[in-house]
Amino acid sequence: MTQSPAADTASADTAADVLIVGSGAAGLTAALALPDHLRVTVLAKGALDEGSTAWAQGGIAAVLEPGDTFEHHVRDTVIAGAGLNDPAVVEQVVGRAPAAIERLRELGVPFAEEGGALHLTREGGHSHRRIVHVADATGWAVQEALLRAAAARPNIRLLPDRVAVDLATGRHEERYSGAGNVWGVYAADRRTGRVELHTGRATILATGGAGRAYLFSTAPAGATGDGIAMAWRAGARVSNMEFMQFHPTCLYDLRVKNFLITEAVRGEGGRLVNPATGERFMARYDPERLELAPRDVVARAIDAEIKRHGLDYVHLDISHQPPDFVRAHFPNIHEKLTGLGIDMTREPIPVVPAQHYTCGGIVIDADGRTDLPGLYAAGECTQSGLHGANRLASNSLLECFVYGEAAADHIGRHLDTLPPVPPIRPWDESRVTHSDEEVVIKQNWTEIRRFMWNYVGIVRTTKRLQRAASRIRLMRDEVADYYGHFRVTPDLIELRNLLEVADLIVRCALARHESRGLHYTLDYPDTLATAADTVLVP
Ligand SMILES: Cc1cc2nc3c(=O)[nH]c(=O)nc-3n(C[C@H](O)[C@H](O)[C@H](O)COP(=O)(O)OP(=O)(O)OC[C@H]3O[C@@H](n4cnc5c(N)ncnc54)[C@H](O)[C@@H]3O)c2cc1C
């Protein structure tokens, strides 16, 4: 038995002109850029500020420094992306960055200034100072400003605690079937447990990344790739999912699993040490730059040590610096670690690399359009062509602003050409019962994240990927059976989506017979002369 829509249509209460799934930088930017005569609904699966946006630390990249040029920013982006970026897209995004920053200032984001001008920092891979920031909590300030502005707009409804389950498409209703048109989503209301139909003549997916497919990820708990999985199930192409960015140093602590230890700790002298041998091992991997080698080099070195010695983690040690120096430079990290029983002024910090950013996703065009009529997407859930095989630091928030606006602009100009929402069946809740086997969900959830970590992590082999693929096949049957028989819960929705995105990651990784950017496989260590996206067609 499958859960499927029954009869009737959305009530006026859940019918909007434009439905946006996601209240992060991409979703709220789109909401604010839509004409204010349109009724806009924004759904979030938990609290409105629970996405990655609020967690962004560093800042947003834009050409603002005298002497810097768009060409430089484009070149840095393409070098990071290992030549897989779409040059036209990179130019479009980079060119629109200064205006996006200006709009954020108008919304009240208090970017750091120096001498009356914006203060710009420099990050790895950038040839110039071009990162605007709000101390080390840029994302929080951006999220706050966008939410404040959206809440003040009478045409925007913000609905937290609605977990989208699937897209409402023409396919559910043969009578109204129109080439996979999308007219909204079915979403579970956490407070009532009921699945409601939310309609929109246009729908924008802005659901963020899929980092939580991995045991260690710096992303928030909700980053389970829901939008990517929903779009794929509905028939949209997905691309480049093999390019998962890993941050080299995340705290190893099974209670926390997502606490980032900033690169600055290595910048201030922190040493990476193998806890089994006591060796400062970076000398073997990058004798010149040691701990300050690029992120992917350091992440791969740590991964190699962990795999070779069967370790759970390596040590990051800054205890040779004076305690006052460590406390002054890293007050937040020091406080957090002290709370977990680690005194970083006297002992090493256990660290592992952690998934950090999802470069691939739903294929979109320059207007944020997906393959499905009526469905747009923006932000980390997409593959726009900007990042290629590796994201340049601080380009990701920028992508959210540019594509949030692009989608809104296109919808504003073309909404009238989209078919009106036909009667669509609401979710059929009569046939499903509550499960008394929640343990199945917990067990599968942990298992996926572990095998993705072990088999589909930083260094891959065909054999490991195939192992992961066969686990996924087994678990999909089990979860499909479970999904068909029991009432959907947020955990079950996320588990189903995690399996879907795990499958997409593995399929993309198996399809790429080379190593490029973030995808490194021992079976194909070389980079091919011609760069091509991995595109999966449903
Ligand atoms: C620790 C950390 C630091 C970072 N630092 C930077 C940085 O300095 N600069 C930079 O450019 N980038 C940075 N990034 C990346 C950047 O934060 C993200 O790429 C960006 O914020 C993604 O925004 P988004 O709008 O696409 O998604 P998010 O901000 O993740 O928002 C996703 C939204 O979708 C909703 N959602 C998801 N699934 C569902 C569902 N099923 N139903 C309903 N709603 C759903 C969520 O509730 C949420 O509202 C960082 C990321 C992390 C994790």
pTM of the model: 0.93
Q: Are 107 and 145 in contact (CB under 8 A)?
A: yes
Considering only CA atoms, which residue is closest to atom 8 of ligand 1?
Answer: 58
497 CA closest ligand 1 atom index: 41
Does the CB atom of residue 404 touch ligand 1 within 6 A? no
CA distances (Å), origin 203, targets 6, 16, 175, 378: 21, 10, 21, 11
What average pLDDT does the segment 225-247 reach? Answer: 96
47 CA closest ligand 1 atom index: 47
| For the chain, percent of residues with pLDDT exceeding 90 | 73
Helices (H), 257-383: 264-267, 282-285, 295-309, 323-329, 331-339
Q: How many CA atoms lie within 13 A of 484 on its CB side?
A: 8
Token output for 135: 């101390």
Give the pLDDT band of residue 436 (cuts 50, 70, 90).
low
Give the pLDDT band of residue 2 (cuts 50, 70, 90).
very low
- Residue 20's pLDDT is 98
Instruction: Calculate the average pLDDT of the chain.
Output: 91
Residue carrying structure tokens 């080439």: 179
Residue 206 CA to ligand 1 center (angstroms) comes to 9
Q: Cβ atoms within 10 A of the Cβ of 336, count?
A: 17
211 CA closest ligand 1 atom index: 53
Lowest mean pLDDT among 265-279, 291-305, 351-365, 426-440: 426-440
Residue 128 CA to ligand 1 center (angstroms) comes to 25
Residue 137 CA to ligand 1 center (angstroms) comes to 14
What average pLDDT does the segment 191-219 reach? Answer: 95
Active-site residue, selected from the candidate residues 266, 295, 496, 512: 295
Summarize pLDDT for 150-189 with one digit per residue, the tens: 999 999 999 999 999 999 986 554 444 445 789 999 999 9
Instruction: State which amino acid sits at residue 500.
Output: E
The beta-strand segments (E) located in 302-407 are 314-317, 349-358, 361-363, 375-377, 382-383
Query: Which long-range contacts does 252-258 make (Cβ < 8 Å, 24+ apart)?
Result: 252/216, 252/312, 252/313, 252/350, 252/351, 252/352, 253/340, 253/350, 255/340, 256/340, 257/215, 257/216, 257/217, 257/354, 258/216, 258/217, 258/218, 258/219, 258/220, 258/354
Considering only CA atoms, which residue is closest to atom 33 of ligand 1?
Answer: 22
SS3 label, residue 82: coil
- DSSP run (H or E) holding 146: helix 138-151
Q: Would you tell me the crossing angle of helices 396-414 and 138-151 to the nearest 10 degrees?
A: 20
What average pLDDT does the segment 44-56 reach? Answer: 96
Does the CB atom of residue 391 touch ligand 1 within 6 A? no
Token output for 256: 């926390």
Lowest mean pLDDT among 31-35, 167-171, 235-239, 457-461: 167-171
Considering only CA atoms, which residue is closest to atom 6 of ligand 1?
Answer: 56
Does the CB atom of residue 53 touch ligand 1 within 6 A? yes
What average pLDDT does the segment 450-461 reach? Answer: 93
SS3 label, residue 96: helix
* DSSP, residue by residue, 180-205: T-EEEEEEEETTT-PEEEEEEEEEEE
Rounded CA separation 367/362 (Å): 13
Nearest to 109 by CA among 204, 47, 28, 51: 28
What average pLDDT does the segment 19-48 reach? Answer: 98
Give the pLDDT band of residue 488 (cuts 50, 70, 90).
confident
* Confidence check: pLDDT of 12 > 70: no
Instruction: State which amino acid sits at residue 401.
Output: F
Rounded CA separation 425/427 (Å): 7
* DSSP, residue by residue, 449-504: HHHHHHHSSSSB-HHHHHHHHHHHHHHHHHHHHHHHHB---HHHHHHHHHHHHHHH
- Residue 11's pLDDT is 60
Exposed e or buried b per residue across 400-433, where buried means at least 16 C-beta atoms within 10 angstroms of its C-beta: bbbbbbbbbbbbeeebeebeebeebbbbeeeebe
26 CA closest ligand 1 atom index: 25
* Confidence check: pLDDT of 140 > 60: yes
Residue 98 CA to ligand 1 center (angstroms) comes to 21
295 assigned to active site: yes
398 CA closest ligand 1 atom index: 11
Q: Would you tell me the crossing angle of helices 462-485 and 490-511 to the nearest 10 degrees?
A: 150
Contacts of 518 (CB under 8 A, 6+ apart): 242, 243, 244, 245, 246, 296, 359, 389, 390
CA distances (Å), origin 98, targets 103, 118, 201, 386: 9, 11, 31, 17
- Residue 200's pLDDT is 96
185 CA closest ligand 1 atom index: 42
- Residue 349's pLDDT is 97
Rounded CA separation 535/530 (Å): 15
- Residue 211's pLDDT is 96
Token output for 385: 């062509």
Q: Rg of the chain's alpha carbons, rounded to an integer?
A: 23
What average pLDDT does the segment 492-503 reach? Answer: 95
Residue 59 CA to ligand 1 center (angstroms) comes to 13
Judging by DSSP bridges, how do beta strands 314-317 and 375-377 pair with one another?
unpaired
Residue 227 CA to ligand 1 center (angstroms) comes to 12
Does the CB atom of residue 379 touch ligand 1 within 6 A? yes
* Ligand 1 mutation pick, 132, 167, 186, 207, max ligand atoms within 8 A of CB: 207
Considering only CA atoms, which residue is closest to atom 11 of ligand 1?
Answer: 394
Residue 208 CA to ligand 1 center (angstroms) comes to 5
Rounded CA separation 107/435 (Å): 46
Considering only CA atoms, which residue is closest to atom 20 of ligand 1?
Answer: 53
